Amino acid sequence: MDSRRDFLKKGILFALGSVALRNVSFAEESNVIDFKDYPKMVKYPGKTSLIMYSDRPPLLETPRSYFASAVTPNEAFFVRWHLANIPTEVNLKEWRLNITGNVKKPVSLSLDDLKSMFEPVSYYAVLQCSGNGRSFFENKQTPLGIQWKYGAMGNALWTGVRLADVLNYAGVKGDSVEVAFAGLDKAPYPETPNVERALPVDKCLYENLILAYEMNGEPISLLNGFPLRLIVPGWYATHWIKSVTNITVLNTELKNFWMEKAYHIPDNACHCVQPGEKPKKARMITEMNVKSVIGTPDDNTVVRVGEVVKIAGVAFDQGFGIKEVLISFDGGKTWKETGLGPDLGRYSFREWFYYFRPTTKGNIKVMVRAVNKNGETQPMEAGWNPGGYMWNGIDSVTIKVV
């Protein structure tokens, strides 16, 4: 039996922009919330200090400094659940992955079955919440939702089995349309729909999706989806179902809240509308866009004239790969090439770096932008949408030269 238990003490419930105080079981400290210190840093079991927006469900953001490296440590990896009743313990002797629906033979597989019956595969892939960077839309109009900054994302080496292999073992029937996935988290109230999302059957059978049981060479933590997580490389995290336990093959489209209403964006080229407007047509969010983030130095770092400072961060996209990352010290008038770190794969973070030696005193604004191999360039500012999704505006920090 593998268990993750005793997380637990007190905190806050954050729901679509409103905050309510409540006794719950996830922060290590028991405090009255001081909104001048919100969000605050907390430590959960197996995690380093992360930025907490809520503890029921857990919403924990990775500090910016971790994005100077291509691989995000498990202990620093962000946490995002939708429903309050998340699993706090899993008994592997009892747990099964159940595959039912429009298949030739329903199957029930233990974790040991998955590891022994199917070929293991590994690759690096970025997991990013659709609302990562939502708080930066505030200069136009603040969208509802968790006001994530930089760290609702991370990159890990995921190891597991091909989803296609498992589906083929069950025998997907020829008239199948979608494959639906559900995990162990449950809604606290009957009127709240449990999370179940579906993907096109062709994507599941012919693309390199995996059911991962390890991240960075260790079992996935319970907070990040133990014992099994669906990996959908290049797509936003809403499709990466945590603690997968039921897979249902369907011969019709899944119609529920999570498919028809949640995580939708304007269906136009910029995925945007004017602040306050509702899109005329919307579609489900899928692929990520090109983006770069500065990991170091911190904003308002003080350096001396002539002192060399390393500026570093990561860049990524939906899977075309990063062609270059450019840096500017004059407000975007001119751009210089940065150095790129090793290529860990098309879905991975790509490290970038630049060694800067300031020659004059004063404040210098450092800006970076990524360009992918498909020719897509990170915009100066992302277009607004009601959900605050897909922010990929140019990142910047200020260096104070004395």
Q: What is the pLDDT of residue 144?
A: 84
Tell me if 321 sits within 8 A of 372, measured CB to CB. yes
Query: Is the domain of 226 the same as that of 320?
Result: no
Q: What is the pLDDT of residue 334?
A: 97
Query: Is the domain of 208 the same as that of 253?
Result: yes
DSSP state of 177: -
What is the CATH number for 353? Answer: 2.60.40.650
Query: Is the domain of 307 the same as that of 383?
Result: yes
Distance between CA atoms of residues 231 and 163, nearest Å: 9
Query: Is the domain of 278 the same as that of 135?
Result: yes
**Would the pLDDT of 189 be above 80?**
yes
Give the bridge partners for 365, in sequence order.
Answer: 398
Q: What is the pLDDT of residue 211?
A: 98
Query: Is the domain of 301 the same as that of 194?
Result: no
Average pLDDT score over the chain: 91
Query: Is the domain of 134 the same as that of 253?
Result: yes
Confidence of residue 190 (pLDDT cuts 50, 70, 90): confident
How is the chain split among helix, strand and coil, in percent rounded to 5? 10, 40, 50
Q: What is the pLDDT of residue 142?
A: 87
**Would the pLDDT of 116 be above 70?**
yes
Kindly state the tokens that stand for 360: 């004059």
Q: What is the mean pLDDT of residues 57-68?
A: 96
Say if 53 falls within a structural domain: no
Kindly state the tokens that stand for 13: 């419930």
Q: What is the pLDDT of residue 10?
A: 28
Nearest to 256 by CA among 341, 326, 180, 185: 180
Question: pLDDT tens, 124-164?
Answer: 999 999 999 999 998 888 888 899 999 999 999 999 999 99
Confidence of residue 25 (pLDDT cuts 50, 70, 90): very low
Confidence of residue 195 (pLDDT cuts 50, 70, 90): very high
Say if 395 falls within a structural domain: yes
Say if 22 falls within a structural domain: no
Number of domains in the chain: 2
Query: Is the domain of 302 the same as that of 258?
Result: no
Query: Is the domain of 278 the same as that of 297?
Result: no
Query: Is the domain of 134 the same as that of 174?
Result: yes
Query: Is the domain of 241 the same as that of 331?
Result: no
**Would the pLDDT of 5 be above 60?**
no
Helix (H, G, I), strand (E, B) or coil at 170: helix
Pairing of strands 79-80, 49-55: unpaired
Residue with tokens 């005793």: 6
Distance between CA atoms of residues 340 and 324, nearest Å: 7
Overall pTM > 0.95: no
State which of 252, 284, 316 marks the end of a domain: 284
Say if 239 falls within a structural domain: yes
Confidence of residue 34 (pLDDT cuts 50, 70, 90): low
Domain that holds residue 305: 291-401
What is the CATH number for 204? Answer: 3.90.420.10
Query: Is the domain of 124 the same as that of 173?
Result: yes
Q: What is the pLDDT of residue 21?
A: 25
Question: pLDDT tens, 360-394?
Answer: 999 999 999 999 999 999 999 999 999 999 999 99
State which of 253, 284, 315 marks the end of a domain: 284
Q: What is the pLDDT of residue 1?
A: 43
Confidence of residue 55 (pLDDT cuts 50, 70, 90): confident
Say if 23 falls within a structural domain: no
Lowest pLDDT segment from 11-20, 36-45, 252-261, 380-389: 11-20
Q: What is the pLDDT of residue 374?
A: 97
Say if 72 falls within a structural domain: no
Nearest to 79 by CA among 263, 250, 240: 240
Distance between CA atoms of residues 226 and 166, nearest Å: 18
The identity of residue 351, as a single letter, is E
State which of 284, 313, 344 marks the end of a domain: 284
Question: pLDDT tens, 313-347?
Answer: 999 999 999 999 999 999 999 999 999 999 999 99
Say if 57 falls within a structural domain: no
Say if 35 falls within a structural domain: no
**Would the pLDDT of 39 be above 90?**
no
Distance between CA atoms of residues 98 and 107, nearest Å: 6
Query: Is the domain of 376 the same as that of 259?
Result: no
